[in-house]
A and B are shown apart, each in its own frame.
Chain A
């Protein structure tokens, strides 16, 4: 960091000095810049610029420069202004010093912002306790982190329902909307707008601890309902509700006549617990006659689990939206956060487009739904392969590149599927160009148009076919002859009646059999001259290397090897090492890395040095002799000074995917019973689309989604980002809620009760808790303006004018709930929340 230093002598004797902190004895942190002094009489005001990650600004004073500086007790800091009073003439010299966040805390935050999809309350606590090194070591060895998200079937979960309304009539009904079952416990109705345990329960035997007796009257469609000890929330028994037909009113429900004191002119609050279970599809209704209070809740649980989605994706029955939901839910929930980030990096680097595959299969023979399912499979399989490859300690870039090259999604996407080079056919250049420009070397980095033409010929013959499922790894397999329905005699060859998997196959008859010379120079007439050599700018050990590669004229199935040889050759050239390292640095550090550095130049930047260090790590073979070890390159980045300092912290803007998942994670803490304070079924792809057309698995352009802020931030996309957090934080049922995801239920009140019980009735502490959770790298002293905003919000009524102390609100009331939701939404709509 570069600190400005200057000193100034003021006419009346107060002097200001700002120099390098380390050069003078007192204090620890860096000296603050932009310091100005203004004084009158015995009063002096210092103003200064914010310094990154500052927990406290200290004003130090020394009577003379050769004497030690000590904290000045005469004034107080307010924001970025200090006012001191009672100062004598010739007071001496001032210095403003920032007390920084401890380095480990800063790194812990950067890790959660980049290596993970944002801090969650639990992860933030854990990483701060564990220390950044241990967390990083754990994330780098993803295979050692238990992850059962895809295989652990979701279990039943007790959910609590609370709602207030009028006592429309003294009768309570409960019923299902069809055949089904659930468990019900602890049903309470009390007078007033809040759930008050001190008030008497107006429902008799609401705990279902004694027999239903005459209090609860059971209709015929619910006759099998009974008390049970099998599933209980509280006490020793609960009501097992078993329905054979939909209920709607007194004669089709389990009902209770309430005291006549329940009247429409008064407000009451109903609470109850019910058991939601996987596989259930119906709804439970609990209401008063006249519906002054009425609740209808889903009996299903597990919609926030990736497991059912993974099961459908694995057996081929998944829809495209299932794939997107699975991807988003894993990003939110997986403990292998780095692997999730890298999986998305692969998906985005080796970009393919679902709808292009769907249209391809649609045009072949299939109906649109089937075509969509096949295209979904293609996207899922390549994604799963990357995910599995990344669990291998010695995974190389070539491994990831090969998965992409062999993926039917890629073969269709960049038109290799129909490219022919035999006879007079001109090979399609699409894949060849993007292989060089986007997947390996980087634009104009070591290749030219002649190379693209040569490479396009190498890939001719790479196509896809429907092969038997035991043949998916055999590129010479012929079309499957297994029939979906063997009884269909006619039209057996119709694709729609064949059972198999669309896979990469090689058709040597379409291959260009001529000799190919790649990475050679050419004369003006286009004739091959000399091999291309690695440019001088790369320095040792690369400069001057001949990186040309030649393929003799050949025919037959062995020509499949040509393309494999090519990517093996390209994967570890310095151009690839440079470009992919640059992309990883942009992902994990900041956006200002580029290809084209002169690595021999003495005048280097930290960015250039980091890319160079990544390339050297890439170039070093592991014990199995393979270059391009991904984890070794990542270690270089994560251990760099750039990553550990303010040069990385909060220097990037969240992409829509990062913004949406970070929002869910930020409020997602796990309660002791295993439930969480932030619920979503992952159906959020629409929000990503609105925030700048980030279409997961469906990008049209082959360059992938941008990492830079400029690509994502405009007035229109900001409006969508702000709407999203505001809607996500709305309680269920509020107008506009669907913008945040129809299923999204965020519970900031529950989070505060869980993590900071002392803050529940204290606006200042509540603001502090959320400020630390949402802006952990900013430093307390830099957040005073946000804090003032948050505290004012909490202490003001919904009209925005009337004072209404947060501490006076009942934490169980709707007012309290809205107040806290609104404050958290306000913090999440700020500029700083866009960053990571």
Chain B
């Protein structure tokens, strides 16, 4: 069998069991140690104030090791699945091609009263108690003299102005696939155009930490399935579908009956069987289930436990709930019963339930990585402008980043905001020109958001101007391969149709995995194989030889 394209140069792992001659022996051994693992889980959950120090298996790097403040660095990812239109997320307001000609029904206008040319922080329009939360419909200026932000991202403005947010435009990878599924896979495996890598970039990061088979929890996603970014065959990462239902039942469904059923399951789990394709996966995930049930049983994921509120008033109102999961916890609705005061659409409650759970897990357990997905970005028709389909999704993103900043500053103890980086991912951007349906089709480069207490964010100068802009690759000071304007400019320079990348997503993730999480350069080459190949130019500015495109290397984020 010889696949006709993309021969594997690198194969750190595989979901196939073909390379494990007898996994049952390995599994049996790990099951025999299960009792102690469960015990450790319980201890972790009840002693949440004591920083956990695990002995590393690999004498390399500091991923998962406590820093000088006694805490470990952690990562939170939000995957925007379906391909977010980056051009209507971070708006190139200074580009004449960002126009009603090209974007007939979806254009976000610049505000004549608040020109994008003004320099300073990001505009955060407040409306007072009588006005709606999202009544501002222009592009929010970002203060670099060129770029704006979709008004549905309004709550990113205070995060940006606090110096906790970096905004990156024109992010992609060589020979961009315009298939959702291939492109999501490439983002998640960290290996563009290679369909033979079946494990995730953050799985490999956890594996390199040496903790993945020692701690019951290293990386967690909250969602319908374990995303590829956390999948791998040598250790199980955890996915929770509904944390409030994460326990088992029994017949009869009594405490004793449950113990009896659990004992039967533990007994069955020790049984050895002949090798089959999915048996190692089942074994690891069953083990993960047993060893995490107790940990999560100690966290209060219930609605009653959702008491986290902002520390400041928005729109002159009382402090809002950080995780809107009901109408009464959604912005200023509870007092005015006015749907215009929602901070997020009512359809976002499930997402904020997941976000809250992920935040709590990251703060209260040994997990180093947590993530959620937001689906629905494939806006082929009726994308909308300041309001509409994409705006409703962006509101989730803006408020999510804002809420995480507040939660980890105000409520978190084991993981503080300065220990955390929050990053958004999306598989590609969308066409620069609108189609006949008021939508956009699959294209190339898109935008990425990186936030956290340790990010090199925006700094104002003494006169209220800009000492350091944190808008990358979209005009202003921080645009090393400058944005070209007009009908032949950056928006059309990829295949004469699409926004051209000048940053590889791997450079962003690589920078975070090395400089934030603590991977060594050698580890990073195993986590992101492109780092071992100078032709990829992931570290410093250069030309990617695959499609002869110049990129900036690593952005100066941290």
Asked whether A and B interact, the reply is yes
The size bracket of the interface on B is 35 or more
User: Which listed residue (B16, B289, B434) contacts A718, Cβ 8 A?
Assistant: B289
Contact in complex: B276, A835 (CB < 8 Å)? yes
Residues of A within 8 A of B82 (CB): 701
Contact in complex: A736, B274 (CB < 8 Å)? no
Contact in complex: A718, B274 (CB < 8 Å)? no
With CB as the reference atom, state the residue of chain B lying closest to A815. B252
Report the minimum CB–CB distance from A480 to chain B (whole Å): 25
User: Which listed residue (A80, A720, A826) contacts B241, Cβ 8 A?
Assistant: A720
Is A419 an interface residue, CB under 8 A from the partner? yes
Q: How far is the CA of A34 from the CA of B293 in the complex (A)?
A: 34
Is A402 an interface residue, CB under 8 A from the partner? no
Report the minimum CB–CB distance from B288 to chain A (whole Å): 5
- Which residues of B does A touch, CB under 8 Å? 1-5, 15-16, 22, 24, 81-82, 177-182, 195, 198, 224-226, 228, 231, 236, 238-242, 245-254, 256-257, 259-261, 263-265, 267-279, 281-283, 285-286, 288-289, 292-293, 375-376, 378, 380-381, 433-437, 439, 441-442, 495-496
Report the minimum CB–CB distance from A755 to chain B (whole Å): 20
Contact in complex: B441, A429 (CB < 8 Å)? yes
Contact in complex: B252, A592 (CB < 8 Å)? no
Is A650 an interface residue, CB under 8 A from the partner? yes
The 8 closest A-B pairs by CB, nearest first: A800-B260, A785-B271, A714-B239, A693-B224, A716-B241, A425-B436, A709-B278, A714-B226
Known A713-B285, A826-B261: A798·B15 in contact at CB below 8 Å? no
Contact in complex: A415, B439 (CB < 8 Å)? yes
Is A364 an interface residue, CB under 8 A from the partner? no
Q: How far is the CA of A738 from the CA of B252 in the complex (A)?
A: 14
Contact in complex: B288, A822 (CB < 8 Å)? no
Q: How far is the CA of A831 from the CA of B376 in the complex (A)?
A: 33
With CB as the reference atom, state the residue of chain B lying closest to A537. B4
Q: How far is the CA of A710 from the CA of B199 in the complex (A)?
A: 11
Q: How far is the CA of A730 from the CA of B253 in the complex (A)?
A: 8
User: Which listed residue (A433, A734, A835) contacts B252, Cβ 8 A?
Assistant: A734
Residues of A within 8 A of B293 (CB): 719
Q: How far is the CA of A188 from the CA of B143 in the complex (A)?
A: 85
User: Which listed residue (B224, B236, B270, B433) contacts A715, Cβ 8 A?
Assistant: B236
Contact in complex: A712, B496 (CB < 8 Å)? no
Contact in complex: A419, B273 (CB < 8 Å)? no
Contact in complex: A719, B1 (CB < 8 Å)? no
User: Which listed residue (A52, A691, A739) contacts B276, Cβ 8 A?
Assistant: A52
Contact in complex: B245, A653 (CB < 8 Å)? no
Known A428-B441, A443-B179: A735·B253 in contact at CB below 8 Å? yes
Q: How far is the CA of A419 from the CA of B382 in the complex (A)?
A: 12
Given contacts A443-B179, A651-B278, A789-B264, 13 further A-B contacts (CB under 8 A): A34-B22, A50-B273, A425-B436, A596-B4, A700-B375, A714-B241, A718-B285, A726-B253, A729-B251, A731-B251, A778-B273, A786-B271, A834-B278
Is A435 an interface residue, CB under 8 A from the partner? no
With CB as the reference atom, state the residue of chain A lying closest to B236. A715
With CB as the reference atom, state the residue of chain B lying closest to A649. B276
Is A282 an interface residue, CB under 8 A from the partner? no
Contact in complex: A829, B265 (CB < 8 Å)? yes
Contact in complex: B282, A831 (CB < 8 Å)? yes
Contact in complex: A690, B251 (CB < 8 Å)? no
User: Which listed residue (B240, B252, B381, B439) contacts A822, Cβ 8 A?
Assistant: B252
Stretch at the interface among A87-95, A110-118, A266-274, A600-608: A600-608
Is A832 an interface residue, CB under 8 A from the partner? yes
Residues of B within 8 A of A720 (CB): 241-242, 245
Residues of A within 8 A of B292 (CB): 715
Is A818 an interface residue, CB under 8 A from the partner? yes
Is A84 an interface residue, CB under 8 A from the partner? no
**CB proximity to B under 8 Å, residues A698-738:** 700-701, 703, 709-720, 722-723, 726-727, 729-731, 734-736
Is A309 an interface residue, CB under 8 A from the partner? no
Is A283 an interface residue, CB under 8 A from the partner? no
Contact in complex: A651, B1 (CB < 8 Å)? no
Q: How far is the CA of A800 from the CA of B268 in the complex (A)?
A: 15
Known A786-B271, A829-B261: A709·B289 in contact at CB below 8 Å? no
Q: How far is the CA of A414 from the CA of B18 in the complex (A)?
A: 39
Q: How far is the CA of A718 from the CA of B182 in the complex (A)?
A: 27
Residues of B within 8 A of A428 (CB): 380-381, 435-437, 439, 441
User: Which listed residue (A427, A693, A701) contacts B225, Cβ 8 A?
Assistant: A693
Is A598 an interface residue, CB under 8 A from the partner? yes
Contact in complex: A433, B442 (CB < 8 Å)? yes
Contact in complex: B241, A597 (CB < 8 Å)? no
**A628-658 interface bits toward B, Cβ cutoff 8 Å, 1 = contact, 0 = none:** 0000000000000000001000111100000
**A800-836 interface bits toward B, Cβ cutoff 8 Å, 1 = contact, 0 = none:** 1000000000000000001001100111011110110
Report the minimum CB–CB distance from A434 to chain B (whole Å): 9
Q: How far is the CA of A592 from the CA of B283 in the complex (A)?
A: 19
With CB as the reference atom, state the residue of chain B lying closest to A421. B436
Residues of A within 8 A of B495 (CB): 449
Is A764 an interface residue, CB under 8 A from the partner? no
Residues of A within 8 A of B241 (CB): 690-693, 714, 716-717, 719-720
Residues of A within 8 A of B256 (CB): 798-800
Contact in complex: B179, A437 (CB < 8 Å)? yes
Residues of B within 8 A of A367 (CB): none
Contact in complex: A50, B252 (CB < 8 Å)? no
Known A51-B274, A429-B441, A535-B4: A831·B279 in contact at CB below 8 Å? yes
Residues of A within 8 A of B439 (CB): 415, 428
Residues of B within 8 A of A703 (CB): 180-181
Contact in complex: B281, A726 (CB < 8 Å)? no
Report the minimum CB–CB distance from B350 to chain A (whole Å): 11
With CB as the reference atom, state the residue of chain B lying closest to A783. B271
Contact in complex: A443, B182 (CB < 8 Å)? yes
Known A437-B179, A596-B3: A415·B264 in contact at CB below 8 Å? no
Q: How far is the CA of A420 from the CA of B104 in the complex (A)?
A: 15
With CB as the reference atom, state the residue of chain A lying closest to B278. A709
Residues of B within 8 A of A834 (CB): 278, 282
Report the minimum CB–CB distance from B26 to chain A (whole Å): 12
Report the minimum CB–CB distance from B412 to chain A (whole Å): 23
User: Which listed residue (A537, A700, A714, A717) contacts B376, Cβ 8 A?
Assistant: A700
Known A653-B278, A825-B251, A835-B276: A719·B442 in contact at CB below 8 Å? no
Contact in complex: B267, A789 (CB < 8 Å)? yes
Report the minimum CB–CB distance from B434 to chain A (whole Å): 8
Q: How far is the CA of A731 from the CA of B260 in the complex (A)?
A: 17
Q: How far is the CA of A716 from the CA of B5 in the complex (A)?
A: 36
What are some 16 contacts across the A-B interface (CB < 8 A)?
A: A429-B442, A430-B441, A433-B442, A444-B5, A444-B177, A590-B277, A692-B225, A711-B225, A714-B288, A715-B239, A718-B285, A726-B249, A785-B270, A789-B267, A822-B250, A831-B279
